[in-house]
Structure 1
């Protein structure tokens, strides 16, 4: 077990272009499961490979247990890697694949057998130990690849999108197994994925990267409820948070929407002085409430009229994909032209092309600066 620290670490492939990883500073606590997440090309895999010694560090340093490993070879860092592609030797059995690194390290045969059988028991691989990769399913191969890393008792696990080749059902069961296994072993783990659902369900903390720049690091729930900027707000959560540009901030410090600027979005008074007359409003799908179905809201209060475009039924819940109706005097605009609401099981009577009226639930909206798009909570 070990701590990991990136200190202003950069990876520069081409000096004429922005770095693939740009001055990342990040600390991973001893025994922590940290997930690096971001879209393709965000630098998450490169950052992890810098830790493992598979990519050079062009600027800054990477430390393991306060020791600078930036110039050490990969084999000298005591880091075990689990790859997306399994990377198993096809001519070897599962037992031989798992034992290979220990044999190269000249470990006594009895100790190798003990380590392999211990890892196989953890991963429920005992019936597969004498089979070759070609005789296994994708999930079984991935468990063998994990077992090969576990037997080494490394200081740090690095996992590079290990579940992306598995089908949806197997991904769910395998990610639960990885999470429980990591807690049992207590090994510091850096896990890379582009799937924000994996990130939210597996990580003790989640680090969001965009174009090589670290955007925010936090516990999953706090990251979801208090995104640092509009990129994190839009990336974390499925469906994503609705972002509404151009909400008017009134002279008395209220953020107003709707065709007649009457819908109060509950902007905290202390935030009003941080923004120049307008604000970006973010609302999660579950934080909208329907207050009318048809021509007008049932309670006669202020609301936002929407046209339902698609009803996505998922059994226990449903998502309404809506478009804000264009009305005279409406100055705000929904980013991406789509607003998504989540409804619990049992909803009835809402079909495509119908009109609904919504307003956010009290104290659930998130507010961002209209210029730098940073959450006003952090300014």
Structure 2
């Protein structure tokens, strides 16, 4: 087991363009499962490959157990990689694939056999040990790829989107298996994904990247409840948080939309001094309530919306809405769309209905209008 530390680490492919990874400083505790998440091109895979020794470090450094490994060869870092593409040898059985790295280390045959059997038992691979990859399903191949890394007993696991080639059901079961396995082994793990569900359910902490810059690192629940800025707020969570721009602060310390129309949203006292006279309001999809249904059923403290689509998911629904044309409050809705997650009151809703909504009391997040940083962090 080991600690991992990035110290102002950068990867620069083209000096005339912004770095792919830009001065990341991040510490991964001994035995921690850290997930790097972000959109395509955010630098998450590059950051992990810098740790594994597959990408050079152009500025700063990377340390494993307080040892600077920035100039160390990949083979000498004691880091095991699990790739998206499995990368198994097609002419070898599962047993041979898992034993290959240990054979290169000239370990005794009895020790190699014991390590392979141990990993196979953990991953429920015993019936597959004498099969080749072509005889296995995608999930089975991925487990063999994981077993190949486990037998090495490395200091650090690096996993680069290992579930992206699996179907949805298998992805869920394998996700749980990886989490249980990591806790059992206690090996420090850096896991890369673009899937926020994986990030939120698997990681002890989640690090969000955008354009090579680290945006926020925190425990999943805290990241969801207290996003550092509007990017994190809208990236983490599905459906995404709705942002309402241009909310003015009135004399009572309430955020009011569109020249005083719509709901009055009380701003916590400790945040009022940080807000100046305007804020961006964030509302999670589960924090909307429907006050009335019908063209003329609303009141001055609600936002009128027209239903575009109702996604019925059994016990809940995602209701996609757009602001009504000509309503000044609609101009505040960034992206022109509000998505609500409802567990009651959705069965009667249909497309083209008009609903009048407001955020539930005390549920809003407030951001600075210029920096778009959460006022809690200013």
TM range (shorter): over 0.9
Deviations 1:268-324 (A, max 9, x none): 1232222232111100000001111114557x5611111111111111210110112
Counterparts in 2 of 1:318-333, with a 5 A limit?
A: 318-327=317-326, 329-330=328-329, 332-333=331-332
TM-score, length-normalised on structure 1?
Answer: 0.97
Q: Equivalent residue of 1:265, what SS? A: strand
Which residue is 2:197 aligned to?
A: 197
- 317-326 or 189-198, which moves further after superposition? 317-326
Distance 2:128 2:368 in 1: 56
Distance 1:32 1:172 in 2: 21
- 245-254 or 125-134, which moves further after superposition? 245-254
Indicate if the aligned counterparts of 1:366 and 1:375 stay in contact, CA closer than 8 A: yes
Counterparts in 2 of 1:56-71, with a 5 A limit?
A: 56-71=56-71
- Unmatched tracts of structure 2, length 5 or more: none
Counterparts in 2 of 1:124-273, with a 5 A limit?
A: 124-257=124-257, 260-273=260-273
Which residue is 1:4 aligned to?
A: 4
Deviations 1:51-109 (A, max 9, x none): 00000000001000001000100000000000000000000000000000000001110
Q: Equivalent residue of 2:232, what SS? A: helix
Which residue is 2:285 aligned to?
A: 285
- 302-311 or 107-116, which moves further after superposition? 302-311
- Unmatched tracts of structure 1, length 5 or more: none
Tell me how far 1:37 sits from its aligned partner: 0.2
Indicate if the aligned counterparts of 1:4 and 1:63 stay in contact, CA closer than 8 A: yes
Q: CA RMSD in A?
A: 1.4
Q: Equivalent residue of 2:95, what SS? A: helix
Indicate if the aligned counterparts of 2:241 and 2:282 stay in contact, CA closer than 8 A: yes
Counterparts in 2 of 1:87-102, with a 5 A limit?
A: 87-102=87-102
Counterparts in 2 of 1:329-340, with a 5 A limit?
A: 329-330=328-329, 332-340=331-339
Tell me how far 1:326 sits from its aligned partner: 4.0
Indicate if the aligned counterparts of 1:12 and 1:20 stay in contact, CA closer than 8 A: yes
Which residue is 1:46 aligned to?
A: 46
Distance 1:26 1:205 in 2: 11
Q: Equivalent residue of 1:197, what SS? A: helix
**In the superposition, relative to structure 1, how do residues 163 and 151 fare at CA in structure 2: closer, same or farther (>3 Å)?**
same
Tell me how far 1:253 sits from its aligned partner: 1.8
Distance 1:290 1:63 in 2: 52
Distance 1:322 1:167 in 2: 30
Deviations 1:170-197 (A, max 9, x none): 1000000000000000000000000011
Work out the number of aligned pairs and report it. Answer: 378
Which residue is 2:369 aligned to?
A: 370
Distance 1:262 1:93 in 2: 65
Indicate if the aligned counterparts of 1:289 and 1:361 stay in contact, CA closer than 8 A: yes
Q: Equivalent residue of 2:22, what SS? A: strand
Indicate if the aligned counterparts of 1:246 and 1:331 stay in contact, CA closer than 8 A: no
Q: Equivalent residue of 2:177, what SS? A: helix
Distance 2:81 2:120 in 1: 18
Distance 1:139 1:331 in 2: 46
Tell me how far 1:267 sits from its aligned partner: 1.5
Distance 1:287 1:22 in 2: 35
Indicate if the aligned counterparts of 1:315 and 1:345 stay in contact, CA closer than 8 A: no
- 35-44 or 267-276, which moves further after superposition? 267-276
Distance 1:120 1:312 in 2: 41
TM-score, length-normalised on structure 2?
Answer: 0.97
Which residue is 2:350 aligned to?
A: 351
Counterparts in 2 of 1:77-96, with a 5 A limit?
A: 77-96=77-96
Distance 2:328 2:5 in 1: 52
